[in-house]
Amino acid sequence: PLTPALLSVIYGNRAACYMMCRDYSKAASDCETAYGYVLQGNGDSPTAPPADFVLAVKLGLRRARAETKRGECVRARDIYKEAVKLANDNGVAGMNRGVLDECLKGLEECKQHVDSMRTLGELAKMRDEAGAGKKGRLDDVAQRILKLADAVLAHSPASLSTVVHKVRVLADTSQHAAAVAAVEKHAKALPYNLIPSEKSSPPPAAAAVSAAVAVLLPASLLLPYVECLRLDDRGPAALAALGAVESREDVGDDIRGARWQLAKEKERIRKVGEAKEAGDAAFRKEKWNECVEEYSTALNVDSDLGKSGKIHAVIRCNRAAGYMALRRFREAARDCTAALNIAPDYRKGLLRRARCHARLKLYKESLADYESWVAGEIGAGGRSDEIDSVKKELEEVRKAIRDQQRETDRNKWFENNFGSQENPGYDRSSFRGYGGPKNPYSTGPHRGPHPGDARRRTGSTQHGAAGGGGGPPPFGRRNSDYANAAASRAAASVEKTHYQVLGVSNTADATAIKKAYHKLALMYHPDKNKDEGAADLFRKVQGAYEVVGGDGRRKYDSELLTQRFRYR
């Protein structure tokens, strides 16, 4: 017959099976039933044996552990206390000291868990009251919530409230991939789930995993799960999750109440996907303006949320490619920077920004981006041919930096020895002399007597302009001469040099000049470019190359140098 003693053993054993299946709710219920049968003994017969208090304490211990796994730590603490009292009152320590020690240890740990969960709830409430402006920052409160949540989930993996606190912080701080992983980990800890194993061969599709996870979730986790999938550029997986929930009839009241929010998420996925596909199609057809407009439309879908994710980083980087095709490198660099702020490890955005900085002649910034990209690709085992190609671009940037530094040093030397380009007239305080940096008439910071002082007042021209020393300009020169010189100098500076027309430095070699000429000639050739002014630009490019691309370059360079300093 099924006596109370036998029933207590059966229910206790089934509770152990439920624990192995992670069905902690049913395990706790069976332990409670078995505990009641133990205390009944074999009935009210005078020959009935006494209750098995050791078994009763063991069942209390198992039930407390089941409640702890569920996250019901307050209830588990009370069960531990009851088990310890039962053991002390009935001399269990003398019969089985080990089970009492386990109860005492579990009670102390459970007290700590209760304190952790109470603190976690207080921090979450504090963060909610802080407002939307502060919720998006990974501040000290958010970091403490994440740390406490991980500590609680280590002993209470099925604690729904703790997972909700963690996922909300991760979603608010744009850690969408981590939020998705936390939700899926929680779903896999639920009993009897049908989530495909990642170790299976072949590996399951992401959409299949998301669909299996979604049907197990309450609304408090389903909504952030779908949103984080979408923002993490996993639109198909998000649609699969929504489809799995929509196809089920046996959903809870919380899911029914959230159907309008789920429908809104589905509409956002559709709008972003359509605009992004239209932008990609326009890019392939080289319709650059249309491509930029479509990508901008995709970005505006989430403008009211104030949230950004990997999907926005991808779209911004795509729009940057459109801006680059339109030669709007500043806007392209801005989009790449925004993409990297969202996804710092997005190497495509890093490479694209490096190229934009190079076009803008921001060589130091370009160098840093190129070097970061190359180091990241090598570390990730990227394609060797692509790495080699980018390394060539990197060397061109390094060469441009060297050329820029040489030009800076040369200009600085000229300014130190001949005065500033911006002041072609005579400046007594900074003039260093026509014959070089030395001035034989100078006696220190104050100019001493000069043999031509009297003649300067009378306008005499006996002192030659080519005198060997430094000092003031030729004595016979009038102020109008300096004014005319300055005007001629200014007019000459407005007109571009042949090097500037070709877009190369005056130290470029013949190969670089020829390459720049061919590129510009193709761009502005009247047969290919019908824009107004293209023909004039083509003639200027052709004329510049005829001078600096052949034997006349040496003479032209000499004329440039003479024109630059003839009025000093």
Question: What is the predicted pLDDT for the residue at 444?
Answer: 42
Instruction: State residue 565 phi and psi, 5-degree precision.
Output: -120, 15
Question: What is the predicted pLDDT for the residue at 50?
Answer: 54
Q: What percent of the chain has pLDDT over 70?
A: 81
Instruction: State residue 154 phi and psi, 5-degree precision.
Output: -65, -30
Total Cβ atoms within 10 A of residue 14? 17
Instruction: State residue 109 phi and psi, 5-degree precision.
Output: -65, -40
Instruction: Taking residues 5-32, report their average pLDDT.
Output: 93
Determine the 3-state secondary structure of 545 from DSSP.
Answer: helix
Give the model confidence (pLDDT) of 464-505 as tens digits: 333 344 444 433 344 444 445 444 544 444 568 888 888 888
136 — pLDDT class (breaks 50, 70, 90) = low
Which residue do the tokens 């019969």 mark? Answer: 95
**Beta-bridge mates of residue 447:** 442
Quick one: tokens of 78? 């009370």
Which long-range CB contacts under 8 A does 143-146 form with residues at least 24 apart?
145/120, 145/169, 146/170
Whole-angstrom CA distances from 537 to 48, 74, 506, 529 are 112, 81, 20, 11
Q: Which residues contact 40 (CB under 8 A, 6 or more apart)?
A: 4, 51
Instruction: State residue 65 phi and psi, 5-degree precision.
Output: -65, -40
The answer to whether 436 and 470 have CB atoms below 8 angstroms apart is yes
Question: What is the predicted pLDDT for the residue at 351?
Answer: 95
The answer to whether 136 and 306 have CB atoms below 8 angstroms apart is yes
Question: What is the predicted pLDDT for the residue at 442?
Answer: 39
Taking each helix axis from N to C end, the angle separating 384-418 and 347-359, rounded to the nearest 10 degrees, works out to 30
* Distance spanning both ends of the chain, measured CA to CA: 121
Q: Which residues contact 267 (CB under 8 A, 6 or more apart)?
A: none
Total Cβ atoms within 10 A of residue 136? 14
d(CA 143, CA 130): 15
418 — pLDDT class (breaks 50, 70, 90) = low
Residue 204 DSSP one-character state: P
The answer to whether 494 and 506 have CB atoms below 8 angstroms apart is no
456 — pLDDT class (breaks 50, 70, 90) = very low
138 — pLDDT class (breaks 50, 70, 90) = low
List, as one string, the DSSP characters of 273-339. Answer: HHHHHHHHHHHHTT-HHHHHHHHHHHHHTTTTTT---HHHHHHHHHHHHHHHHTT-HHHHHHHHHHH
- The alpha carbons of the chain give a radius of gyration, in whole angstroms, of 40
The answer to whether 215 and 248 have CB atoms below 8 angstroms apart is yes
Residue 20 DSSP one-character state: H
Give the model confidence (pLDDT) of 32-69 as tens digits: 999 988 887 645 544 444 568 888 889 999 999 999 99
Give the 3-state secondary structure of 350-379. Answer: HHHHHHHHHHCCCHHHHHHHHHHHHHHHHH
**Beta-bridge mates of residue 312:** none
Total Cβ atoms within 10 A of residue 242? 22
d(CA 418, CA 565): 8
d(CA 277, CA 285): 13
d(CA 177, CA 343): 11
Quick one: tokens of 125? 């409430």
d(CA 152, CA 493): 72
Question: What is the predicted pLDDT for the residue at 465?
Answer: 38
Quick one: tokens of 538? 């083509």
Question: What is the predicted pLDDT for the residue at 73?
Answer: 92
> Of 296-300, 427-431, 539-543, where does the model show the most confidence?
296-300
Is pLDDT larger for residue 92 or for residue 50? 92
The answer to whether 510 and 522 have CB atoms below 8 angstroms apart is no
Question: What is the predicted pLDDT for the residue at 564?
Answer: 54
Residue 365: pLDDT above 90?
yes
Is pTM, for the whole model, over 0.85? no
Give the helix ranges, DSSP H, for 215-258. Answer: 219-231, 235-246, 253-257
d(CA 339, CA 349): 7
What length does the chain have?
Answer: 568
Question: What is the predicted pLDDT for the residue at 43?
Answer: 52
Give the 3-state secondary structure of 99-126. Answer: HHHHHHHHHHHHHHHHHHHHHHHHHHHH
Question: What is the predicted pLDDT for the residue at 552?
Answer: 82
Question: What is the predicted pLDDT for the residue at 281?
Answer: 95
Q: Which range is least confidently modeled, 322-326, 361-365, 532-536?
A: 532-536
Instruction: Taking residues 403-414, report their average pLDDT.
Output: 85
List, as one string, the DSSP characters of 171-195. Answer: HHTT-HHHHHHHHHHHHHTSTT--P
Question: What is the predicted pLDDT for the residue at 51?
Answer: 63
Encoded amino acid at 403, one letter? D
Instruction: Taking residues 84-112, report their average pLDDT.
Output: 87
d(CA 256, CA 253): 5
Which residue do the tokens 């779908």 mark? Answer: 226
> Of 199-203, 378-382, 423-427, where does the model show the most confidence?
378-382
Instruction: Taking residues 396-404, report their average pLDDT.
Output: 93
Encoded amino acid at 384, one letter? S
Average pLDDT, rounded, for the chain: 82
Q: Which range is least confidently modeled, 119-123, 253-257, 292-296, 313-317?
A: 253-257
Q: Residue 274 CA to chain centroid, in angstroms?
A: 24
Least Cα distance to 431 among 481, 477, 469, 488 occurs for 469
Helix (H) or strand (E) holding 506: none
Instruction: State residue 348 phi and psi, 5-degree precision.
Output: -65, -40
